[in-house]
Amino acid sequence: MKNLIHTFHIPVMGTAYSIDTPVKVARYGIDSVISLVDDTLIEQMREFYCKQEKETYTPITTHDEDYRARRITAYLDLVNRIVQRQFSELKQSAFEPGSEITKYFEMLPEDSVLKAAWRHMLSCPDPKLKTDLQKNLRDSIKAGDINVNIMTKLDRNNFDNQGALLPAEFSDALSALRGYAKSSLESAIVFSAGINRRLYTYVEQFKDFYADATGDIKKRIILKVSDFRSSIVQGKFFAKKGLWISEYRIESGLNCGGHAFATEGFLMGPILEEFRTKRQQLTDELHKIYNEALKLKNKMTFPKPHELHITAQGGIGTFLEDKFLRTHYGLNTTGWATPFLLCPEATNVDAITLEKLARAGEQDLYVSNVSPLGVPFNNLKDSLSDIEKGQNVMRGRPGSACHKGHLATNTEFTDEGICTAGRQYQKLKIDELNALGLNEAEYKRRFDDIIAKACICHDLGQPAVINYCISTNIPGFTAVCPGPNLAYFSKVASLKEMIDHIYGRANLLNDTPRPNMFIKELGMYLDYLKNDILRSLESLNESKIKYFTEFKNNLQEGIEYYRQLFPQMVEESLEYRTKCLNDLENCHQKLLNIIKEFSPAFN
């Protein structure tokens, strides 16, 4: 595993927002993640960059065999060539103000060994020694990783041009994996959204995911997880196949962007604590299973485990929060996503949406049910996608035309899957609703649930289409999925300004009072619990009561954990720590009020 250049990474954001982030930041040693969901957008981006790089562009059409995988391979190889060229030019640039290599070193964290060596070179009075030091610096730097993400739940089966079902390896997720596996990249693939057994099993087919004789893994596996138990389960699944998990990427269940996969009240702090205390146990247990599997495959075993990184993301907003996570919990890096939506040098955001994001306050950011997956989805009020969705309802034509179909999995009315955000499904569902003879209030509730769904698999790709003036006959309206942390950032920032904020050299927070990231998540879980109970009051049963009781107990244990944790944040001011404890007690009182108000929901 490569030496880390930065202490943060840029996670995947939507489909367009980080689709070419490596082209923007990898040359500076920054790792980032490309979504592999939308092969149509990926092909459009390949055409754009081929023209920009003056490379020949040969289209890969939907009529070509294995087009989805081939599009992904071709785009990733192109991005890799671009980044390698950029990095080679950066390495050859002069050590002078404003040069690319100077930017590289300026943006490094203050405690970086490389940065110290750079400063030593700058102060060296001996010209010959200075030249030698510059050569050493050029030889020591690395480009950032071009990582990719597969959301495991998005695994639609596909059909050929005659309508016949294709074999499983041509499903969306398996095709995306194959596209990455066949690429020239030496990086990592992030699996998010839980276990997909056929996808995970398919990884075995590709040699680049196995360690070579030196223990190096060309294509590493990263699992995005929300708790320790899930890490053990998924880690063992891969270890039994002789595959090593190089990183467990812990994400807050609710205090994040995109889809929000809420835990049963397990809070981020206690989850990180379990990883901290059981990290060696996790490594040793998986290493034993891993070696046993390698023996069965007649492959080389390893006396020592490969590196296993633990990282975290979701709601981090200040240098001291970031530093505390890395030092107290021993994290290798942290993920910063949502704030980078305000950094055009790193992400794709169209001008209208960028302005909306910069103006957004706490009241503009909410957990919605717009996702056709039926999973809570972080949303921005009055996004272009939401406005168009509402106008479709006013026109008497709710729903969207389903152009890409990556979320077309519902078979309630049809043999072949359709999308719940699509016009076809919503018409059928509203016709069914009209026949039920419901009272006005119940009818409105169900109607609103139907029309809430948005065409996110298409609309999340719009910013790149707009920014790069990509010609298309298919209309789109930008959807965006920022985390609630965006409310505390308003400045459209340069890449250097954003990195300076992460490393404590600048402050990009606005004047909105911002709670500690753990407090923010706790408050969101309290709201989630209350809303979940309200939805379930008319259908309470033993199973739901057990679930709510466990949820409540986990929140109480988390609150007690934070009572002990906040005083340990010694680099924060006494005033800050006191505020955290006061906010914590307010959250505890809110939980007690929920328990009292909805006592039938608990044992």
Over the stretch 72-117, which tens digit does the pLDDT of each residue have?
999 999 999 999 999 999 999 999 999 999 999 999 999 999 999 9
Summarize pLDDT for 2-20 with one digit per residue, the tens.
578 999 999 999 999 999 9
Cα 94 to Cα 548: distance, rounded to the nearest angstrom: 62
Cα 77 to Cα 49: distance, rounded to the nearest angstrom: 12
pLDDT of residue 407: 85
Please classify residue 464 by burial: count the beta carbons closer than 10 Å to its beta carbon, then call 0-12 exposed, 13-18 middle and 19+ buried. Answer: buried
More confident residue, 512 or 603: 512
Write out the two tokens for 149. 């993400």
Q: Strands 187-192, 146-151: parallel, antiparallel or unpaired by DSSP?
A: parallel
pLDDT at 129 over 70: yes
Cα torsion angle, 493, 500, 116, 326, sign: negative
| Strand-pair partners of 259 | 377
Cα 210 to Cα 279: distance, rounded to the nearest angstrom: 22
pLDDT of residue 520: 98
pLDDT of residue 416: 84
Confidence grade of residue 68 (pLDDT, cut at 50, 70, 90):
very high
pLDDT at 436 over 80: yes
**Range 245-271 average pLDDT:** 95
**Range 498-523 average pLDDT:** 98
Q: What is the mean pLDDT of the chain?
A: 95
Which stretch, 45-59, 416-430, 431-445, has highest mean pLDDT?
A: 45-59
DSSP string spanning 304-341? SPPP-EEEEESS--SHHHHHHHHHHS--SEEE--GGGG
pLDDT of residue 193: 87
pLDDT at 404 over 90: no
pTM: 0.96
Of all residues in the chain, the percent with pLDDT exceeding 90 is: 91
pLDDT at 538 over 70: yes
**Range 584-593 average pLDDT:** 98
Secondary structure (3-state) at 244: coil
Cα 338 to Cα 335: distance, rounded to the nearest angstrom: 10
**Range 292-298 average pLDDT:** 97
Contact 60, 71 (CB under 8 A): yes
Cβ-based neighbours of 88, under 8 Å, separated by 6 or more: none
Cα 89 to Cα 27: distance, rounded to the nearest angstrom: 9
pLDDT of residue 2: 58
Confidence grade of residue 408 (pLDDT, cut at 50, 70, 90):
confident
